[in-house]
Structure 1
Amino acid sequence: MARDTGRPPRHPHPTNAVDGVVHGVVLQAETVTGGIHHHWTPVAATPGPRGTPSPRQLPSPPASFTGRRRELDLLTGALDRPGGTAVVSVIGGAGGMGKTWLTLHWAHRHLDRFPDGQLFADLRGFDPSGEPLSPTAVVCGFLHALGVPSSEIPAEPDARVGLYRTLTAGRRLLVVLDNAADAAQVAPLLPGGSSSVVLVTSRYHLAGLVVANGAGRVELDALTDAESRELLTRHLGAERVAREPRAVDELVDRCSGLPLALSIASARALDNPDFPLRAVVGELADEQTRLDGLDGGDDATSVRAVFSWSYRRLAPGAARLFRLLGLHPGPDLQVHAAACLADVPVHEVRPVLRELCRAHLVAERSPDRFSSHDLLRAYAAELVLGVDGEAERRSATTRVLDYYLHCADLADALLPTARSGPPVTPGRRPRSAPALSAAADASEWFTTERANLVAAAELASAQGLLVHAWQLPYRLSRYFWLRADHETLLGVTEAGLAAATRLGDDDGRFAMLFNRGVALQQGGRPEQALSSLREALEVARTTGDPEQRARAVGTTADALQALGRNGEAEAHYREAIRLSRAAGARWAEANAHHNSGLSRWEAARHADAERSLRRALRLYRELGDRCGETRCRADLALLLLEVGEHGAALRNARAALTTAAGMASPYYRGMAHDRLAVVLHRLDLPGAVEHWEEALALFSELDAPEAERVRARLARTRR
């Protein structure tokens, strides 16, 4: 009998039995006679419970680890996951996100769970030095750590894996497989039995481990701002961080929650303790050179280099799309926009996006909607400048701007208010676009794409694509008007005006001057509004467009009225109505009647005011302009309340809310709730508070100034 249990025999006499872990060949006799001599030699100085060593291979824990409480809890919770195999958790995330730090931090906090030891291997799945390690080589290293002499390690890979699983079965081991390339590299390294725990870090999703081995997945995203400040504090000390709070805020913003970036920036500050933190921040100010400031001098401490290890593993089509994403103007994009960038059909771009997701170079935040970490976008922008030619970059940029202009035109046509003016002209119809069929679809699309659309308009201006630069703001204007977002409307319109002027496009100049005047007027700046609207009127007179002239005259009247120049305003309203009728511009006529009615109401000409408002209401309804109808009914309700027609006032206020309820405009719904609440309160009827609460919620959502007025009304009512 030959056996090696790693401990002295438990019985005073040898027995005809084999237990423990056996290396080599075992011969067991049926009947043993004569004297038996048992030779026992321990295989290691630090034996485990079954006679093999207890390896302690974990690297030291990270000194400045912070945050990640949810992810740590997920790893701990996985220990209780039922199953007949080892507990496997895959920690995924982009390069520099802190996957190894998290793993080591958790492992060192739970060493008591693994009395039989810890195995660690850097699988070099994403490594600049060469190919990933083969599983066979890693198993060989693990066998050595478990006390197997080189001479007893099988040469055949499957036998080697089998011996590894035999040695680990029934043991409470932690196996950390860092930087894995794919599931095939990991699978042979999973221990035998069900008592061990395996932590795998990778930039890839490793779906094969989830499917075949029931692995849990822990995804790392950027640190929160609070976690980022805590990490900086750990690196730099509380005193230095407290001394320059504004610089710290900017540093957090420019590192975008990437732990590696925060640590490199901290190291830069520690290298120069006498430098203010704002000097480090200054090195990161320019987006185009930000990655230069996040380079610690070697590959492991260079954000650019760390990202490059993932990029180099991409297939050519995925690498091209990743680069082109550096041209996209906004923070995220829908699958149709990605297809336009790549100039391929949607069904072809989806698998490419999935590859980028598997590599954690983009993330699918919601179905068919993708985004990248800010620093990854900066890296993509560097790559596209260095790899793709100017003609390809220009073509891709134009394609994506055409896409946003085309979709904005589709969505704008569905909004619940009449539109007029020149058509927009995207240079190329996109290959595909989202399905939009109702006002709610349009409003939701605008809201989702708002940041992209504003960024697209800015990009068009910066790139000298002048048609896009004024037509995108033009098609955004009604959405911003419906949400009472006057400041954003004003900002994009100013840039659009500059583009239309450079282009020499009179239709564009009129549209931008008119919209600028509307934004200024609604934003409470009537003097500036009047100046812009008079410029628009001059353009209309030059072009001879009667509808433009009617709209400009009527809106000029609004600015004059706001300035208290009532006589001039009344004359302009009369002129606007005449011009509108002559031009067949019914919306301009409705608007002139409406605002003329408000002017007459202010002058206590109640009968004239009511006639004007009712004419406007009829025109709005004929046009199907529900915004105009809502606003006009709400105004008419207050006028009727003032003259004592209480029943008619209540009917119109309720009708205004009914019309607004079906609209995709929270501002108009808020206005209708507010007006109905006023009528109910004045008539001492129940329900005013509830409607003011609804109005307050809607106005607050928009950050509209009306929220304060409604809040004050609620406070007075509740006294």
Structure 2
Amino acid sequence: MVVPQEVPLGPRDFVNREADLGRVDRLWASRSAGATRLGVCTGLPGVGKTAFIRRCVQRFRDTAVFSGGDLHVEFASVDGIAPSVADALGSCLLALGVAKDVMPSTLAERANRLRTITAEKAVLIVLEDVSDAAQVLPFVPNGSGSAVLVTSSAQLSDLLADGAEAIRLEPLDDASGAHLVTTLVGARAEAEPEAVGRLVRLCSGLPVALKVAASRLLARRGMSVGELASQIESGRSGFAVGGEDKVSAVFAVAYEALASEPARIYRLLGLYTGRDLTQDTLSRLADVGQDASSSAVETLIESGLLNEDSDGRLSLHAMVRRHARQLAFSQDGADECEAAVRRVVTHLVTTAAFADLAVLGTGRYRVDPDTLTHGWKSPFAGASAKREALAWLDRERGNLLAVQRAAADLDMHDESWRLAEALTALYVTRRYLVDWTESSALGANSARLIGNRRAEARLRSFVSRAWSDLGNLDRAGEELVDRALPLAEQADDTRLLASVWEMLGRYRDHVDPGDAAEAYQRAIALFAQENDTRGIAFTSLFLGSSHYRSGRLQEAEDILRNALAQIREVGDARMHGRCLTELGNVLRARGATGQARQTLNEAVEILRDDDQPYYEAEAREDLLTLVEDETGLQALMEIHERLGSGRAGEFRDRLRRLRDSAPSA
């Protein structure tokens, strides 16, 4: 397995903070065995917390302190809403090798699984922009091998009271600030020590402002440090960040030096609702070609106003973003600001629709499958299309949810519900359950507002899977029975109604198994009206499974054999193997041991060849009920190790007991 290294690299021009870095080094060295290692880095916005923590991570990588790698979570709120802790835990578990099929559903279960893994391997978890101790506690490891580093503008006194190490970064003093400016600018700064001191004080010792000021000096070789300081002192930006007008004046001076097109793009960047973006998205935001976009990006990076991380993603510091956003509203007008956001929404929604098609294929039911993608070329093509599409959705996850909120706020309700439908490709694959419920609620509300019953019914029915997995069966039933089913019955879409009844069957499997068969039978009859072999085949598998669990073995066998023939026609290896597994269990329950073993072995072969380890493990475990052998236990142990499920130890123990009980030769 690849060791995760998720924390982006720190800035190349990082200087100073040696005393603070030494404190972090001592924190790890001085912790006694069994003690939790938790560092909380606090300080004002712009003081350099992110750069400092990322430099710490680079030092740890160089010394291999955390052999299990490093994980990264950003809790910065977007439009006032912070990411879900449960989904952040899920993201960390995925990076550590836990397969989505064995991903725990609840926050508590995910936190427990993370603690188990980080007790076994040394992992560093970096949590940025934390606002509350409750966001941190689920990530805290039990032992001393792993650790957590937190950045926050809040004090997080609850964590400190429980033994966390406080690392408070103060603004740079005159000497440290002068050192930073001199390092960046060179001889000119050395020649004007008094002016450099003035500049440091005007920037309040904040690295984010000092770097913008230094970039201005580098761009104007003939400008002295004193001249820049005077420009800042005379500036009247009318914009305050934390009460510091003089800091915002630094950004104003840098902005005023921009040519018209980079200046316009800078202002529009302040309107972007996500956390970061690609250059392609920036081009759509500004409605310019790639060449103009690349030129503007280069200019803005050189000015110090725009950041580019080690993955090539672009962002504005929060303080700079506020400055840019205010300028956009004052200089570009409400119509152009809205048009820019609309362009980004359209671009990202369309790309998400292509990603959905690449991940889940064309056979999946969609409300209007071709509306967004017609006439456009998919950015995801070739043998790696599915992998690249899923990676894109994962990288853009927080941004896409923010864009969906922006779409709803702009009454772009078609785009809002369409994005919600596309995002389920990510949520069902990665099991970001909380994001799934939020996105579906936004999308369903948008569909309701424009009277689209089909879209609302689809989103409400499908999200019942997320609510069920979260353990909220009441909410799952409310979405299905009270809302989705009446809407689907009013819509002129037989396939939609069939899919809702299928979801009802799966819901009833949880709450009322005796009534699940009726829902599945209704779904099958409706799919048959549409000649939807795929829908009939898959729902028949669920129906056969329901009969098996209810003890109706002959009916179960008949239905599963029919389903098996249909699934072979459809050509889905995963469902083929699952159907064989269920049929094997029915045969075993009926006492046909030989047929059951043959059927389950066939399921194992198909699922292994299709690289479906979770379902292969299910078939192998069912085989163990017929005969417990060393080969099967060894395979199950290895599969669960690969899945990161936590059950590997169970099969390791069973294998050891089997070997210990074997008669000696």
TM more than 0.5? yes
Q: Is the 8 A contact 2:630 2:655 kept in 1?
A: no
Shift of 1:411: 1.0
> Partner of 2:629 in structure 1?
684
Alpha-carbon spacing, 1:382–1:186, altered in 2? closer, same or farther (3 Å): closer
Shift of 1:585: 2.7
- What is the letter of the counterpart of residue 491 of structure 1? E
Aligned-partner SS, 2:396: helix
Q: Is the 8 A contact 2:404 2:416 kept in 1?
A: yes
Q: Does 1:345 align with 2:345?
A: no
Shift of 1:696: 5.5
> Partner of 1:382 in structure 2?
326
Q: Is the 8 A contact 1:470 1:495 kept in 2?
A: yes
Q: Is the 8 A contact 1:424 1:471 kept in 2?
A: no
> Partner of 2:614 in structure 1?
671
Q: Does 1:440 align with 2:384?
A: no
Shift of 1:528: 3.0
Alpha-carbon spacing, 1:65–1:101, altered in 2? closer, same or farther (3 Å): farther
Q: Deviation per CA, 1:593-629, whole angstroms, max 9, x where unpaired?
A: 1211211221234454344345445444544556645
> Partner of 1:505 in structure 2?
452
Q: State the aligned residue count.
A: 464
> Partner of 2:601 in structure 1?
650
Q: Is the 8 A contact 1:590 1:620 kept in 2?
A: yes
Shift of 1:120: 4.8
> Partner of 1:277 in structure 2?
none
Task: Measure the CA separation in 2 of the matches of 1:100 and 1:129.
Answer: 7
Q: Is the 8 A contact 1:680 1:688 kept in 2?
A: no
Shift of 1:371: 2.4
- What is the letter of the counterpart of residue 339 of structure 2? S
Higher relative contact order (CA 8 A, sep 6+): 2
The match for 1:564 among 498, 505, 512 is 512
Alignment RMSD: 4.3
> Partner of 1:465 in structure 2?
412
The match for 2:440 among 480, 486, 493 is 493
Q: Give the alignment of 1:21-32 within 5 angstroms.
A: none
Q: Is the 8 A contact 2:354 2:378 kept in 1?
A: no
Alpha-carbon spacing, 1:715–1:355, altered in 2? closer, same or farther (3 Å): farther
Q: Give the alignment of 1:266-665 within 5 angstroms.
A: 292=240, 294-296=242-244, 299=246, 302=247, 304-366=248-310, 368-417=312-361, 418-423=363-368, 434-437=379-382, 438-534=385-481, 535-566=483-514, 568-625=515-572, 628-629=575-576, 631-632=578-579, 635=582, 644=593, 645-659=596-610, 661=611
Task: Measure the CA separation in 1 of the matches of 2:341 and 2:219.
Answer: 39
- What is the letter of the counterpart of residue 307 of structure 2? A
- What is the letter of the counterpart of residue 452 of structure 2? D
Q: Deviation per CA, 1:94-141, whole angstroms, max 9, x where unpaired?
A: xx9969865656999xxxxxxxxx7554777997999xxxxxxxxxxx
Task: Measure the CA separation in 2 of the matches of 1:66 and 1:580.
Answer: 65
> Partner of 1:285 in structure 2?
none
Shift of 1:337: 0.8
Task: Measure the CA separation in 2 of the matches of 1:484 and 1:674.
Answer: 20
Shift of 1:390: 0.9
Task: Measure the CA separation in 2 of the matches of 1:575 and 1:407.
Answer: 35
Task: Measure the CA separation in 1 of the matches of 2:318 and 2:613.
Answer: 36
Q: Deviation per CA, 1:403-438, whole angstroms, max 9, x where unpaired?
A: 111111111111245312322687899999744442
Task: Measure the CA separation in 1 of the matches of 2:284 and 2:368.
Answer: 22
Unaligned ranges ≥5, structure 1 = 1-60, 75-95, 109-117, 131-177, 190-199, 204-290, 662-668, 701-706
User: Percent same amino acid at aligned positions?
Assistant: 22
Q: Deviation per CA, 1:119-178, whole angstroms, max 9, x where unpaired?
A: 554777997999xxxxxxxxxxxxxxxxxxxxxxxxxxxxxxxxxxxxxxxxxxxxxxx9
Aligned-partner SS, 1:470: helix
Q: Is the 8 A contact 2:427 2:435 kept in 1?
A: yes
User: TM-score, normalized by length of structure 1?
Assistant: 0.56
Q: Deviation per CA, 1:431-479, whole angstroms, max 9, x where unpaired?
A: 9974444211211111121111111112222332211121111111132
Alpha-carbon spacing, 1:337–1:556, altered in 2? closer, same or farther (3 Å): same
Alpha-carbon spacing, 1:292–1:684, altered in 2? closer, same or farther (3 Å): farther
Alpha-carbon spacing, 1:569–1:340, altered in 2? closer, same or farther (3 Å): same
> Partner of 2:110 in structure 1?
none
Alpha-carbon spacing, 1:339–1:628, altered in 2? closer, same or farther (3 Å): farther
Alpha-carbon spacing, 1:435–1:366, altered in 2? closer, same or farther (3 Å): farther
Q: Deviation per CA, 1:560-618, whole angstroms, max 9, x where unpaired?
A: 2221341x222222222111111223333123212112112212344543443454454
Alpha-carbon spacing, 1:435–1:482, altered in 2? closer, same or farther (3 Å): closer
Q: Deviation per CA, 1:617-643, whole angstroms, max 9, x where unpaired?
A: 544454455664565456556666766
Q: Is the 8 A contact 1:337 1:403 kept in 2?
A: yes
Q: Deviation per CA, 1:361-401, whole angstroms, max 9, x where unpaired?
A: 22332565322333333332232222221111111111111
Task: Measure the CA separation in 2 of the matches of 1:429 and 1:380.
Answer: 35
Shift of 1:518: 2.9
- What is the letter of the counterpart of residue 603 of structure 2? N
Q: Which structure shows the bigger proportion of residues in helix conformation?
A: 2
